[in-house]
Structure 1
Amino acid sequence: MQVHSFLHSDTETYTHVLADVQKQVCAIVDPVLDFDAKSGRTGTTSVDEVIEFVREQGWELVYIIETHAHADHISGAAHVKELLGGQLVIGQHITEVQKTFKQIFNFDTSFRTDASQFDILTDDGEILALGDITITVMYVPGHTRADMAYVAADDEKTVVFVGDTLFAPDVGTARCDFPGGDAKTLYHSIKRLLALPDDTMMYLCHDYPSKGRKHCPTTTVAAQKLGNIHVKEGINEAEFVEMRERRDATLDMPRLIIPSVQVNIDAGHFPEPEDNGIRYLKVPINALGK
């Protein structure tokens, strides 16, 4: 098993490539599309670096895995699939997120809320095969209703892609104030992750390093239990929920939540062009945030 991580610097998001080198197959986890909110222009420079890496290795792309419908970056999954193929994977509870945001954005009846935009819908305990690597699905809601972690194992090691449930120990944990989020639920999801063996490598979806530290895509279960500022050992459920809810009340909405959510719940697809050939995204007024 190999894992290669690519930092999208604008959103501080990590895209990971998980590979069975012997079988020459791989999965891409959480690819990112470049997006300039000031101009509304998209780009593929960052995700093309990931695509070119996979091509250089000669690997077949089997899965494009989304840990959840991201609110801080636009998914590059559609671009990856167009160029490399692969099946697009997301947790089956994405349907709940689609229904919630279909109402917020007032999408018309053509918008599907059955998750049929995706290829594979995963549920807790299911297993995906990637060569000789088994990828076990772990349902970890709280940040959103649809978050999944993916535990990858072969004969040599076990790693887990945690999405937004956990960040580096000095950063803490995901916010829970989006529609469908819940701090108590997140606490129990995190406890499931921290029940993995201490030496399990955790691959992060984001890193927001404290001053003096460089970006890093990984941590371990042991490091989280010892030092996560929000949820290390000794912090109980009530303490976590009080901290998380108090902190969330002070946070602004993510910079790219409005374009990101409406694209990502549609499997990374932008709306169809209107009669002038231009695609448009909606901006709901006074519907999100405080």
Structure 2
Amino acid sequence: MKPIIHTVHDSRTGTWQYIIACPNTKEAAIIDPVLDIDTATFAISTESADSLLDIASSNGYNIRYLLETHAHADHLSAAYYLQQTLQAAGKPKAPICIGNKIRTVQDIFAKKYDIPSEELDNAFDRLFETNEEFSIGTVTLQVLHLPGHTPDHIGYLIKDEGVITGDSIFNPDVGSARCDFPGGDARALYKSMKTLLDLPSHYKLYTGHDYPPANTDGQGKSRQPLPCVTVGEQRERNKHAKLDSTEEEFVQWRSERDQGLSEPRLIHQALQVNARGGRMPKRTHNGKVFFEFLVAVPDRLMG
């Protein structure tokens, strides 16, 4: 049974969010939901997440799962907010799920941001094994391990339809994601992209982000963000991993490219929240949450 797939773009972070629903049972899953944050005031709000709930409500969906592809560094996950909001409305608890390699990522960022272990131990309700299958109504999904961008990265394969890829591959004119986060590996990412390109040519690859390059229409305008293209289109046109690409060329280019990239603007907030499964740090003051930030300063400024 082919699912219904709703594609919802968050323009502020370039993120694609997805709702996958079974047309028979109306069971559904939300994938990679976004919390809104004002980078000037650091105020967090829920408009994007609420829009996903509106779609679910208007279609009569029962949200069965809240799914993450990885611990994102460019947006805050709304999974915990959605879970709590649904439960407050009398709905059954929708488990927050991610791949089991998240433990590696949590260990890295627990040290970096001094996150107490008790805030990580039960951050996720279910950790998927590689190749594990689960169902949304009569729709079966299989978990693919697609490391490279991050070590915990997974995708969700829907037979005869395609893959929710997260950041393991981008649209052909964007190509690939950076690999310079802790645990990232350009060689692993190339192999993950090739794994996706070995799928049947009609399968759709639903990407986690889209950043349309300028002037793609020949008239000085960017194209509109696209949630997916087919495997066949990716094989022919992906500028980093198409059929005539080589692993060594990709690794060299990706490594050089990543050295010149600045940090994502929300990286510190995102990693501290997303390692906790979308929960905020417990340390607060006057109703506001403390985040840990590491700032490089000259030695002469250190007391």
TM range (shorter): over 0.9
Distance 1:207 1:280, change over 3 A: same
- CA distance, structure 2, for counterparts of residue 138 and residue 275 of structure 1: 41
After the TM superposition, which residues 37-56 of structure 1 pair with which residues of structure 2 at under 5 Å, given as runs?
37-56=39-58
Does structure 1 residue 136 correspond to structure 2 residue 139?
Answer: no
- CA distance, structure 1, for counterparts of residue 280 and residue 184 of structure 2: 25
Measure how far apart 1:273 and its partner are: 4.7
Match of 2:85 among 83, 86, 94: 83
Counterpart of 1:252, as a letter, is S
Aligned equivalent of 1:187: 190
- CA distance, structure 2, for counterparts of residue 42 and residue 111 of structure 1: 20
Aligned equivalent of 2:284: 274
Match of 1:250 among 260, 264, 285: 260
Deviations 1:59-113 (A, max 9, x none): 110111100000000001011111224111100000000000111112235443x
Counterpart of 1:185, as a letter, is A
Does structure 1 residue 160 correspond to structure 2 residue 163?
Answer: yes
Q: Secondary structure at the match of 2:65?
A: strand
Counterpart of 2:113, as a letter, is F
Q: Secondary structure at the match of 1:162?
A: strand
Does structure 1 residue 264 correspond to structure 2 residue 266?
Answer: no
Aligned equivalent of 1:170: 173
Does structure 1 residue 92 correspond to structure 2 residue 94?
Answer: no
Aligned equivalent of 1:224: 234
Instruction: Answer with 161-170 or 185-194: which moved more.
Output: 185-194
Measure how far apart 1:16 and its partner are: 0.4
Aligned equivalent of 2:129: 123
What TM-score, normalized by structure 2, do the two folds share?
Answer: 0.90
Does structure 1 residue 199 correspond to structure 2 residue 202?
Answer: yes
Aligned equivalent of 2:90: none
What TM-score, normalized by structure 1, do the two folds share?
Answer: 0.94
Distance 1:73 1:275, change over 3 A: closer
- CA distance, structure 2, for counterparts of residue 52 and residue 232 of structure 1: 38
The answer as to whether partners of 2:235 and 2:242 remain within 8 angstroms in 1 is yes
Q: Secondary structure at the match of 2:64?
A: strand
Distance 1:99 1:273, change over 3 A: closer
Counterpart of 2:110, as a letter, is K
The answer as to whether partners of 2:28 and 2:63 remain within 8 angstroms in 1 is yes
The answer as to whether partners of 2:169 and 2:176 remain within 8 angstroms in 1 is yes
Deviations 1:208-261 (A, max 9, x none): 001231111111111111001111111111111011101111111111101000
The answer as to whether partners of 2:110 and 2:117 remain within 8 angstroms in 1 is no
The answer as to whether partners of 2:7 and 2:16 remain within 8 angstroms in 1 is yes
Aligned equivalent of 1:14: 16
Counterpart of 1:270, as a letter, is M
Aligned equivalent of 2:219: none
Match of 1:214 among 221, 224, 227: 224
Does structure 1 residue 104 correspond to structure 2 residue 112?
Answer: yes
> Unaligned regions of 5+ residues in structure 1, if any?
none
Counterpart of 2:58, as a letter, is E
Counterpart of 2:249, as a letter, is E
- CA distance, structure 2, for counterparts of residue 145 and residue 77 of structure 1: 20
Structure 1 vs Structure 2 CA RMSD: 1.3
Identity %: 38
Aligned length: 282
Q: Secondary structure at the match of 2:194?
A: helix
Distance 1:109 1:123, change over 3 A: closer
Instruction: Answer with 180-189 or 77-86: which moved more.
Output: 77-86
> Unaligned regions of 5+ residues in structure 2, if any?
87-92, 215-221, 298-303
Distance 1:275 1:281, change over 3 A: closer
Moved runs in structure 1, 4+ residues, more than 3 A? 108-111
